[in-house]
Amino acid sequence: MEVYTSDSSDTDSREQKTLDYGRMNLMNINLEDDLHSDTKMPIKSIKDIEILLLNHNRLTRLPTTIRNFLSLRVLDLSSNCLRELPEIIGQLPLITLVAKNNQLTNESLPKSFAIKNQNSTLKELNLSGNMLTHFPEQVIELRNLRYLYVGGNQIGCISKDIWRMQSLQVLSVGGNLLTDVPDTVGLLSQLQALVLCDNLIENLPTSIARLKNLKSLLLHKNRLKHLPRDIVALKNLTEARYRNIFLSLRDNPLVVRFVQDMSLNPPTLMELAARIVKTTGVSVEAGDLPQTTLDYLSCANCCVNPQCKGVFFDNRVEHIKFVDFCGKYRVPLLQYLCSSKCIEHEKPSRPQTSGATRGYMMRKVLLG
């Protein structure tokens, strides 16, 4: 979040430029009256106010006097009962506008958040926790916006024109009804955090790999069954030496399936006993054991790891191993092992020519 700081570092000066009505449980308000009260005597003019805090009240509308705050930089309207943002909002030189947790709809937003024919000064806009049903198109014109929060609404899709917001560093659209993400998101070259959690997304565009500055990618609680192969190009996400980097994938089918596949499924006592009999070479003849047990012992399978002399029956470890094929491709072979300890770490069998060649060979295997 952008933290607004006054040009003056003097605390008293900042207090003079801040008008705080936060957490007063107010329903109606008259801002001008307070300017002439004894407690606000140091304030010379309404034009001095740069920070206005109206958060955590019960306001259903903004007072008309808001238009007189010509120097206003920060406006916090969060956690009220606002059903409309007046058009005058777009005429204020705001840097930060926080209007989260209200009752705003797409129709109740101002047609523009910027002064006509002028570049917007707005750097942070928070509309989370409202009643928006589609992406607010008027934010596209905010070319200097760095932080956009529209999570916790009912938005069904992200605008394809999102690429125009080239200053955007944080895009938070979690907790909506998104089913996909447009390719144009990959054109946001300055993006550092992308929040897509708690939606209905089944696929991600490969263009995500273009976000070279991305440090946080929240994808949990979606319907993702796989990730784009090119996501490995996001070094900020994949290299451990970076700090404060976050990739969240929990509660997606791809993770649930992986965890289920990796769940512990220990051998039965009968299989463990049969393994010992076979590996130690204990002699068993007809009549020593029931016929069903003898039949069971006869169906032992040898572990394919040449360094292992073990066997398995019903319980086995399935492992995919890539092997050279005709000197051109890497072919996946399914191996059955008696234990996960028998998985051999692959070593390059021959020098590779280039990363591009390896990628091509892998595509031939996985996609061909």
pLDDT tens sequence across 152-165: 999 999 999 999 99
Q: What is the DSSP string of 237-249?
A: HH-TTSSS-EEE-
Residue 345 pLDDT greater than 70, yes or no:
no
Greater confidence, 316 or 76?
76
- Name residue, tokens 């040009």: 7
Q: Tens of pLDDT along 23-50?
A: 988 887 666 566 555 555 455 578 889 9
Q: Give the pLDDT band (50/70/90) at residue 112.
A: very high
Structural domains in the chain, sorted by start: 11-260 (3.80.10.10)
Q: Tens of pLDDT along 198-236?
A: 999 999 999 998 999 999 999 999 998 888 877 766 766
- What distance in Å separates the CA atoms of residue 293 and residue 290, rounded to the nearest whole number? 5
**Least confident interval from 106-115, 292-301, 316-325, 347-356:** 347-356
Mean pLDDT across the chain:
80
Please, are residues 243 and 263 in contact by the beta-carbon 8 Å criterion?
Answer: no
> Identity (one letter) of the amino acid at 4?
Y
Please, are residues 173 and 151 in contact by the beta-carbon 8 Å criterion?
Answer: yes
Q: Give the pLDDT band (50/70/90) at residue 6.
A: very low
Q: Give the pLDDT band (50/70/90) at residue 346.
A: low
Residue 74 sits at φ, ψ, to 5 deg, of: -125, 130
Q: What is the DSSP string of 255-309?
A: HHHHHHHTS--PPPHHHHHHHHHHHHT----BTTB-HHHHHHHHT-EE-S-TT--
Please, are residues 123 and 151 in contact by the beta-carbon 8 Å criterion?
Answer: no
Residue 10 pLDDT greater than 70, yes or no:
no
3-state helix, strand, coil in the chain (%, to 5): 30, 15, 55
pLDDT (0 to 100) of residue 258: 54
pLDDT (0 to 100) of residue 34: 62
